[in-house]
Structure 1
């Protein structure tokens, strides 16, 4: 059921995805879907939680530290290139979430804050490990890395043959790290 909802939200966005279509594709009635999820907004939340749980499970129990975490981000992007539906879901819903009263707005606000925090923490660790200069603007660098990754996802979705997300992400991170080592 969550897989079907994920595909539908990814293809149509939250506003245009209907519970009727999701229910029909899952072989249920709308009442059946609502029995399990109580509302379309709750269904969306469960889909987003499933996406996060999958990504966290892929990371394993120990997050890489310092620049190793940035290399992990490149691996994540490479893996995302094999999961178009998940990437589309994230891109569509994150863009939609900037609208008033969108049910996923708080989720994406928190998600971006968490991503920036993870990247900033890794860059702070890299400073402490002597991998990069101590005077690094970790917040600015973290914002830039997250923005590049998201922007590349949108470009890749629109023209997958023209954009190699992993190579481009690696290029930007290597350029940033090279600048920070100087």
Structure 2
């Protein structure tokens, strides 16, 4: 029982650090994602900051995990209108990432480094990709059941292609900020036969040819 107080305080401090980190990176950009900058922002020494996470890589992992947890609450994939609005949700997420280049750069950096199996973020990112593909493919399967996607389409393949394209376009945009991720991804969505609010369902027999 005596350990509960210090544990609770440590957990609260970690949460505070992660909240501040998201704010700092959103405000000051990728260059702010340093241990010194983040430590200064929460009034700790660099060693004091890392005490709560163990290493710089673990800190960056927890920043990404914390951001994902906040997004998951907002997205609410269990909501019954999630599938119906899946395209709008994907495009809204793209818009948010384009508006937050600091977080995008941090995410791409960690994702690139974590391809090594022994990296602290490797398992988190592997599971993250798997979860994203599953959530989106499930939503697409529901649309397919409603006749909004061709019956011979493969929702699992479509989900993988969408997010492979998203990742690739993000990387290209780091070198050329004229790359329009939203329009390119919307082109792919339509080419894959997924209806959008501005593009009618191509498999609806009531629609004129």
The residue aligned with 2:123 is 106
Q: Which moved more, 1:63-72 or 1:142-151?
A: 63-72
Distance 1:76 1:24 in 2: 30
Aligned match for 2:85, one of 68, 86, 90: 68
* 1:147 to 1:39, Cα distance in 2 relative to 1, 3 A: same
Distance 1:50 1:73 in 2: 19
Q: Alignment length, in residue pairs?
A: 177
Structure 1, unpaired ranges of 5+: none
**Cα contact 2:137–2:155 (8 A) shared by 1:** yes
Structure 2, unpaired ranges of 5+: 1-16, 196-200, 204-209
Following TM superposition, by how much is the alpha carbon of 1:12 offset from its aligned partner in structure 2, in angstroms?
8.9
* Structure 2 length-normalised TM: 0.71
The residue aligned with 2:75 is 59
1:77-156 alignment, distance < 5 Å: 77-156=94-173
Distance 1:67 1:153 in 2: 25
C-alpha RMSD of matched pairs (Å): 2.9
Distance 1:40 1:142 in 2: 32
Following TM superposition, by how much is the alpha carbon of 1:26 offset from its aligned partner in structure 2, in angstroms?
4.2
Following TM superposition, by how much is the alpha carbon of 1:24 offset from its aligned partner in structure 2, in angstroms?
4.4
Deviations 1:68-89 (A, max 9, x none): 2123101211122111111111
* 1:4 to 1:65, Cα distance in 2 relative to 1, 3 A: closer
* Structure 1 length-normalised TM: 0.81
| Aligned-partner SS, 1:103 | coil
Following TM superposition, by how much is the alpha carbon of 1:96 offset from its aligned partner in structure 2, in angstroms?
1.3
Segments of 4+ moved more than 6 angstroms:
none
Distance 1:53 1:43 in 2: 15
| Aligned-partner SS, 2:99 | coil
